[in-house]
């Protein structure tokens, strides 16, 4: 099992760092899956996470100048590692102006993902910072826990309003209630609602647009005005919106009525899916 | 009740309707008195007066006169209700606290009268938020009987300088002592905390002192916990007048300019903690 | 004592207080002939810092008539005087500090813009003198760097990191985070940062060594160093011996003395000319394998006294002579190797109930106010006190 990679371009390094920063704000631990072509940051929907799950996919060619890996076996050319993304984030943070960043799977006091950055210095000799991030290698027999979540048949798919507005509203709503109802229909309308004994607040977005129906997932007979809704934990929603470092090129959400909300973020070089279950 | 944003009940049904093109002209000034959860709203044809009290010793009032509003329609001489100010502020700032240049949030505030919730319609960039906040029975505000003719000492200071002192106040001191005198130290704020005492002296001829009318040396102490919240009003204002009457009651009046440059007032009244009169 | 500071020097003093507050909770204020000393020591007494402001730093400096004007106070109360650090330069025109022990008065008066006068009367306690004895010039290694280099270095380590390990050879210096706990090692992220000797203004390495010390204290110094722009010098040699961080300019001398962890079995480099005493002996209950460093605290009257008799010699290194007034007191390097004497000076002052931090043993053995009979021969007296458990000591003669 081997892994070696290198980033030489500062722009790529910054992009990669932003993705890792986002992941680190979403979860304390996650699984990193390495294949010949991609990297995946995954979080599966255990009770410990409050039922949320996450799947982030990156094309390694968009970030790395060199990328070599050898999986656990020839018929299973993949590596699954459990790690604390905050460590990775911290290691990358101080290397933002690096001339080069090398990553390697090593065995130190325990298996580690070692990052070494060559930094500019005042002398002819570069400064070198090395970080050994402890990882747990996940054995092959547990890999089935980490399959890409199947996107369920959703009732409504809609593009999200400007993230900043959504986040501002949700930040305030969080002060007023623990739960929020998110509802949307196929006429580009979305509402965020809270209701308590003291106050009720509803925010109405219009003309958001709905992504094209990709055959079969949405019943054609469904009324355009009918709202699909999910009642979710505001903190989880807020955490998701706060984690975003950069505005995605496309942001949408799919709602399975009374079951779950599925957010899909597309960036130029990465995609992120986040599932929040509905509460009773 | 279904939430339909476009229609409301028609102005005829509301006892009070007030509109603002920029909700900050209301929310900012309310933040200056938001040290307790509950506030009393009293609307008259002159405008809106919002009162917050603390332990019967402190009263803060914000005045937003009807001219500030783009629309201010009231069907009665006086309309009063009590509402949770913290919740109200969260609603007024639903689109975020900070300003983006050129973007304002519009507000329409509607009240049906006793027993009905306070309704707010806010709009920014085509997005509409509707809020309904439960109201409570209004309580009678305290009358401190602070009369201008009873004023012993008065100074008017530019807020900037007083702001510095207030932000540095030793919070381990239970009291804030204010000394006003026709002679040295003229205007002094003192604290007595765990690590010692501190005095902030403003001379009468300081360029920050716009008015100095002190007739008699007076030293009064006020509970720090009551006065500390006034720092918010100070931060928002450009000028503050400090007056004490013969009984040591303190009146702080703040001149606040809103986003459009219009003037509003905030005042704080506070009872003295002890009376220490020096001859 | 009465002194006046003007202009940007007020901020320098305020920064010094801020820097000291990162180390200890109490500020020791001691006006001396050669200037005003502000000192502190951390709670486990394994780090000491001193800022000595020469009379030239002040617009006016009137030292006290008697030399017993020493006091200490809670450092937070002095920080309260200098709130709003960032705007200090713009608002404060003059700062006056008056200390009169007899009248129980310590007053800071700030004359600010627009005629505003801020007066702070602080409560304080009489205190013993707090000074560390250390030997900068006697250290095998000296590194001097611009503060930015060190600031950039510590940035690579998380703010919560307690201890850092530094190793040097002729070409480079390596900083690593140090994780003591076995259990933590498997979970902790290990970071290593390498700087070439060329990045330093001065790089004198006579001994290849590896020392471990508390990063928090270095950060405390950098708080001041960064704003002053003065180069920082690091003096150190073998593990267990204290490390000194120092900044100076014409009106100010700053010294931070930090204990370093000693390691059993640490190979000693005998290339240097300075030979040291061998293995630290295991003596009383307070000792454990991790412990070891030497700094003696001098008790008694030390204010501005530059006429120190030479401390008695022990083994190999000749004692250092005192520098000119304004330097910190120095003494024989050998003194610093003794480590069995702790038991003798058991007079705990504040921390009596507390066992010393297991890892970094206290630099200070408690302070003892000298009795009149001791005064005349005080130096020797204190040395004796340090050496009195020497029966446990290998080969170190009593003075």
CATH number of the domain to which B110 belongs? 3.70.10.10
C258, pLDDT greater than 70:
yes
The yes-or-no verdict on residue B191 having pLDDT over 60 is yes
Q: Which two tokens stand for residue B152?
A: 């012993």
Both tokens of C112, joined, read 């600010």
User: Which residue is closest to B199 within chain C, CA to CA?
Assistant: C119
Indicate the pairing of strand B79-84 with strand B38-44: antiparallel
* Host H or E run for residue B243: strand B237-245
pLDDT at position C306 = 34
In a domain, B141, yes or no: no
Q: What are phi and psi of B243, to 5 degrees?
A: -130, 145
Q: What total number of domains does chain B contain?
A: 2
Together in a domain, B156 and B43: no
Q: How many residues appear in chain C?
A: 399
CA pair distance C307, C300, nearest whole angstrom: 15
- The domain ranges of chain A are 2-146, 156-277
CA distance C211 to chain A (A): 19
**Predicted confidence (pLDDT) at residue C348 exceeds the cutoff of 90:** no
Cβ burial, residue A131 (10 Å; 0-12/13-18/19+): buried
Interface subset of A 128-147, CB within 8 angstroms of C: 128-134
Q: How confident is the model at residue C307 (pLDDT cuts 50, 70, 90)?
A: very low
Q: Say whether A156-277 and A2-146 share the same fold.
A: yes
More confident residue, C298 or A230: A230
- The helix (H) or strand (E) run that includes residue C382 is helix C378-387
Residues B35 and B90 in one domain: yes
CA–CA separation, B270 and B248 (whole Å) = 9
User: Containing domain of residue B212, as a range?
Assistant: 148-276
Q: What are C142-154's pLDDT values in tens digits? A: 999 999 999 999 9
Q: Please tell me the pTM assigned to this model.
A: 0.81
Give the count of alpha carbons within 13 A of C336, CB side only: 30
Whether residue B217 sits in one domain with residue B263:
yes
Select from A24, A32, A27 the least CA-distant residue to A81: A32
Tell whether A198 lies on the interface with B, counting CB pairs under 8 A: yes
Rounded CA-CA distance C108/C13 in Å is 12
Q: Tell me the shortest Cα–Cα distance from B276 to chain A, in angstroms.
A: 43
Say what the pLDDT of residue C311 is.
36
pLDDT at A145: 83
Q: Residue B206 CB: number of other CB atoms within 10 A?
A: 20
* pLDDT reported for residue C77: 93
CB pairs under 8 A between A and C: 57
What CATH number should be reported for the domain whose range is A156-277? 3.70.10.10
Spatial contact of A229 and A257, defined as CB atoms under 8 Å apart: yes
Confidence at residue B208, expressed as pLDDT on a 0 to 100 scale: 93
Is there a single domain that holds both residue B91 and residue B188?
no
Ranges under pLDDT 50 in chain A: 215-217
In a domain, B206, yes or no: yes
Scanning B82-203, the segments in alpha helix (DSSP H) are 85-92, 159-168
Indicate the residue of C74, C84, C114 with minimum beta-carbon distance to B161. Answer: C114
Q: Which residues are within 8 A (CB) of B160 and not within 5 positions of it... i.e. 6 or more apart?
A: B208
Q: How far is B89 from chain C (nearest CA, A)?
A: 29
Is B3 a member of any domain?
no
pLDDT above 60 (res B109): yes
Q: Is residue B147 classed exposed, middle or buried when 0-12, 13-18 and 19+ CB atoms within 10 A define those classes? A: exposed
Note the pLDDT of residue C162.
Answer: 84
CA separation for the pair C315, C275 (Å, rounded)? 9
Q: Which residues of C touch B168 (CB under 8 A)?
A: 80, 83-84, 118
Beta pairing partners, C74: C26
Q: How large a percentage of chain C has pLDDT more than 70?
A: 65
Mean pLDDT over the full length of chain C:
72
Residue of A nearest to C187 (CA): A134
Q: Do residues B55 and B27 share a domain?
A: yes
- The answer to whether residues B64 and B262 touch, using CB atoms and an 8 Å cutoff, is no
Question: In the numeric block, which tokens belong to residue A266?
Answer: 């597309």
For C2-126, CATH number?
3.70.10.10
Contact yes or no for C121 and B196 at CB 8 A: yes
Residue B200 lies in a domain: yes
Query: What is the rounded CA–CA span in Å between residue C21 and residue C85?
Result: 14
- C-alpha to C-alpha distance for A264 and C236, rounded to whole angstroms: 56
Q: CA C166, C168, C174: angle at the middle one, nearest 5?
A: 50
Tokens of B249: 């009651």
Closest CA to C235 of C266, C277, C203: C203
HSE, CB side, 13 Å, CA atoms: give it for residue C116.
21
pLDDT of B119 higher than 70? yes
The contacts found for C350-354 with CB under 8 angstroms, 24 or more apart, are: C351/C43, C351/C44, C351/C45, C354/C43, C354/C44
pLDDT for the residue C268:
37
Place of tokens 């250390």: C134
Flag whether B99 is in a domain.
yes
Are A176 and B127 within 8 A, CB to CB? Answer: no
What chain B residue is nearest to C88 in terms of C-alpha separation?
B164
In the structure encoding, which two tokens stand for residue A15, read together? 């992009």
DSSP A122: S
Interchain CB contact of A201 with B (< 8 Å): yes
- Residue among B234, B224, B226 at smallest CA distance from B157: B234
User: What sign for the dihedral angle of Cα C21, C25, C26, C32?
Assistant: negative
Q: Are A206 and A189 in contact (CB under 8 A)?
A: yes
- Does residue B142 lie within any of the structural domains? no
The CATH architecture to which A2-146 belongs is Box (3.70)
Q: How far apart, in whole angstroms, are the C-alpha atoms of residue A160 and residue A168? A: 14
Pairwise CA distance, residues A37 & C206, whole Å: 51
Residues B251-263 as b/e (b if ≥16 CB within 10 A, e otherwise) read: bbbbbbebeeeee
The count of C-alpha atoms lying within 13 angstroms of the C-alpha of C100, restricted to the half-sphere facing its C-beta, is 7
- pLDDT-based confidence at residue B86 (cuts at 50, 70, 90): very high
Q: Bridge-partner residues for B119, per DSSP?
A: B110, B132
| Residues B174, B261 within the same domain | yes
Task: Give how far the C-alpha of residue B25 lies from the chain's centroid of Cα atoms, to the nearest Å.
Answer: 13
């Amino acid at each position: 099992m081997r892994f070696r990679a290198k980033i030489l371009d500062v722009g790529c390094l910054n992009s990669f760092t932003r993705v890792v920063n986002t992941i680190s704000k979403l979860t304390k631990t996650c699984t990193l899956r390495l294949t010949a072509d991609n990297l995946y940051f995954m979080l599966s929907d255990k009770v410990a996470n409050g039922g949320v799950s996450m799947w982030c996919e990156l094309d390694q060619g968009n970030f790395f100048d060199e990328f070599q890996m050898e999986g656990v076996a020839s018929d299973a050319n993949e590596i699954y590692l459990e790690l604390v993304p905050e460590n990775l984030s911290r290691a990358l943070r101080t290397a933002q102006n690096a001339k080069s960043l090398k990553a390697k799977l090593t065995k130190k006091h325990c298996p580690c993902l070692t990052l070494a950055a060559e930094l500019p210095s005042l002398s002819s000799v570069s400064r070198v910072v090395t970080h050994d991030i402890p990882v747990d290698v996940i054995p092959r027999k547990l890999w089935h826990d980490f399959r890409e979540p199947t996107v369920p048949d959703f009732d409504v798919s809609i593009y999200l309003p400007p993230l900043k507005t959504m986040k501002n509203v949700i930040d305030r709503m969080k002060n007023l209630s623990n739960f929020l109802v998110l509802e949307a229909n196929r006429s580009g309308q979305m509402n965020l609602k809270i209701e308590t004994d003291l106050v009720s607040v509803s925010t109405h977005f219009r003309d958001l647009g709905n992504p094209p129906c990709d055959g079969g997932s949405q019943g054609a007979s469904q009324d355009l005005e009918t709202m699909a809704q999910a009642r979710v934990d505001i903190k989880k929603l807020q955490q998701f919106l706060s984690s975003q470092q950069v505005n995605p090129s496309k942001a949408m959400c799919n709602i399975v009525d009374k079951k779950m909300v599925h957010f899909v973020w597309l960036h130029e070089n990465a995609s992120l899916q986040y599932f929040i279950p509905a509460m009773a | 009740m279904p939430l339909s944003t476009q229609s409301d009940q028609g102005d005829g049904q509301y006892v009070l309707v007030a509109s603002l093109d920029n909700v900050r002209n209301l929310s900012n000034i309310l933040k200056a008195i938001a040290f307790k959860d509950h506030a009393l709203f009293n609307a008259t044809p002159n405008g809106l007066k919002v009162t917050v009290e603390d332990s019967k010793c402190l009263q803060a009032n914000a005045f937003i006169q009807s001219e500030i509003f783009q629309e201010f329609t009231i069907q009665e001489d006086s309309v009063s209700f009590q509402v949770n100010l913290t919740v109200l502020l969260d609603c007024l700032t639903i689109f975020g606290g900070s300003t983006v240049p050129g973007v304002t949030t519009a507000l329409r505030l509607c009240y049906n009268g006793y027993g009905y919730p306070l309704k707010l319609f806010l709009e920014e960039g085509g997005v509409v938020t509707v809020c309904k906040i439960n109201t409570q029975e209004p309580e009678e505000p305290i009358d401190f009987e602070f009369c201008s003719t009873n004023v012993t000492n008065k100074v008017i200071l530019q807020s900037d300088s007083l702001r510095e002192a207030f932000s540095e106040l030793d919070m381990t001191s239970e009291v804030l002592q204010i000394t006003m005198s026709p002679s040295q130290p003229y205007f002094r704020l003192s604290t007595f905390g765990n690590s010692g005492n501190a005095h902030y002296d403003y001379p009468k001829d300081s360029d920050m002192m716009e008015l100095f009318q002190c007739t008699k040396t007076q030293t009064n102490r006020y509970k720090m916990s009551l006065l500390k919240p006034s720092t918010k009003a100070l931060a928002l204002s450009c000028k503050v007048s400090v007056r004490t009457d013969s009984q040591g009651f303190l009146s702080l009046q703040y001149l606040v300019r809103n986003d459009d440059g219009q003037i509003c007032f905030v005042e704080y009244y506070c009872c003295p903690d002890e009376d220490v009169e020096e001859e | 004592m009465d002194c006046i500071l003007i202009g940007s020097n007020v901020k320098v003093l305020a920064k010094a207080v801020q820097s000291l507050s990162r180390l200890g909770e109490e500020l020791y204020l001691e006006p001396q002939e050669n200037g005003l000393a502000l000192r502190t020591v951390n709670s486990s007494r394994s780090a000491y810092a001193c800022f000595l402001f020469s009379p030239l730093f002040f617009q006016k400096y009137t030292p006290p008539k008697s030399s017993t004007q020493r006091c200490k106070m809670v450092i937070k109360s002095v920080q309260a005087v200098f709130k709003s650090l960032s705007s200090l330069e713009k608002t404060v025109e003059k700062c006056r500090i008056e200390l009169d022990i007899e009248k129980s008065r310590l007053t800071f008066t700030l004359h600010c813009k627009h005629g505003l006068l801020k007066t702070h009367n602080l409560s304080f306690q009489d205190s013993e003198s707090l000074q560390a004895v250390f030997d900068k010039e006697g250290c095998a290694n000296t590194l001097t760097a611009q503060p930015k280099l060190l600031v950039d270095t510590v940035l690579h380590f998380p703010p919560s990191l307690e201890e850092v390990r530094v190793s040097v050879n002729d070409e480079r210096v390596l900083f690593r985070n140090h994780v003591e706990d076995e259990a933590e090692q498997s979970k902790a992220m290990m970071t290593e940062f390498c700087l070439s000797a060329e990045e330093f203004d001065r790089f004198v390495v006579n001994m290849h060594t590896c020392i471990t010390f508390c990063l928090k204290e270095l950060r405390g110094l950098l708080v001041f160093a960064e704003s002053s722009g003065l180069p920082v010098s690091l003096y150190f040699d073998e593990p267990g011996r204290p490390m000194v961080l120092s900044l100076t300019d014409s009106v100010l001398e700053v010294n931070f003395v930090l204990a370093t962890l000693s390691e059993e079995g640490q190979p000693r480099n005998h290339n240097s000319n300075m030979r040291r005493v061998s293995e630290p002996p295991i003596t009383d209950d307070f000792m454990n394998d991790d412990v070891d460093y030497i700094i003696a605290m001098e008790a008694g009257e030390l204010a501005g006294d530059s006429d120190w008799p030479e401390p008695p010699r022990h083994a190999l290194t000749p004692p250092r002579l005192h520098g000119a007034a304004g330097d910190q007191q120095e003494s024989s390097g050998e003194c610093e190797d003794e480590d069995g004497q702790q038991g003798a000076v058991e007079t705990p002052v504040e921390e009596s109930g507390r066992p010393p931090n297991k890892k970094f043993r206290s630099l200070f053995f408690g302070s003892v106010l000298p009795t009149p009979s001791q005064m005349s021969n005080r130096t020797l007296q204190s040395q004796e006190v340090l050496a009195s458990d020497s029966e446990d000591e290998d080969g170190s003669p009593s003075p």
